[in-house]
Chains A and B, each alone.
Chain A
Amino acid sequence: GQQLNQSPQSMFIQEGEDVSMNCTSSSIFNTWLWYKQDPGEGPVLLIALYKAGELTSNGRLTAQFGITRKDSFLNISASIPSDVGIYFCAGIRGQGGKLIFGQGTELSVKP
């Protein structure tokens, strides 16, 4: 079936450092989404990407939709303690809009 491979699984960084995580797939996706989830909460949408090659920013977050439509990355610049959480990529393929998630990247930020 369709799978999104997200890496790394976890990251431990110092406050102020930049972070990069990515998702790849063997299938083409029409839309890439990046979410953040805090413990006990539902995921919250950070960035949505709709076109191959698209580069979109949301504050300190930047994400890109790969040219091949099979990958995407998320960068967080100058991390702060509240960036802690699990980040998920998600892809939508086909007109039915079925949303498939990566396995998540757990981010820990040391003050």
Chain B
Amino acid sequence: SQTIHQWPATLVQPVGSPLSLECTVEGTSNPNLYWYRQAAGRGLQLLFYSVGIGQISSEVPQNLSASRPQDRQFILSSKKLLLSDSGFYLCAWSGGKGNTEAFFGQGTRLTVV
């Protein structure tokens, strides 16, 4: 069966520090991968999605970047965090072909102080 792992679960970082959140998927190959941000417990904003290794689509201009160094690994990064980067970050995967359902990780609560 497929599983998705996202870590860390919580993170407190100072303004200006770098960020790296990692997401890995097991039990499937060539998935679509997604990073979402959720502010104040409502509304999932799509940040990045990827249909393959090295293929990243950015949905909104922001202080973040994403990379997909391996088929089932998706990384969310920032060189210098802003206070406004605080939020709940969610990684998700779906089947790579066609329009199939997506499954989420447990999320990372990021607080920038």
Interface residues of chain A, those whose CB is within 8 Å of chain B, are 30-31, 33, 35, 39-45, 48, 50, 86, 88, 90, 92, 95-101, 103-104, 106
Interface band, chain B: 20 to 34
Interface residues of chain B, those whose CB is within 8 Å of chain A, are 6, 32, 34, 36, 41-44, 46, 49, 51, 57, 88, 90, 92, 94-96, 98-107, 109
Minimal beta-carbon separation of B73 from chain A (angstroms): 18
Minimum-distance CB pairs A-B, first 8: A42-B104, A31-B99, A101-B44, A92-B99, A48-B101, A30-B99, A97-B32, A42-B107
Known: A42-B90, A43-B90. A33 touches B101 (CB 8 A): yes
Minimal beta-carbon separation of B13 from chain A (angstroms): 19
B42→A42 contact, CB < 8 A: no
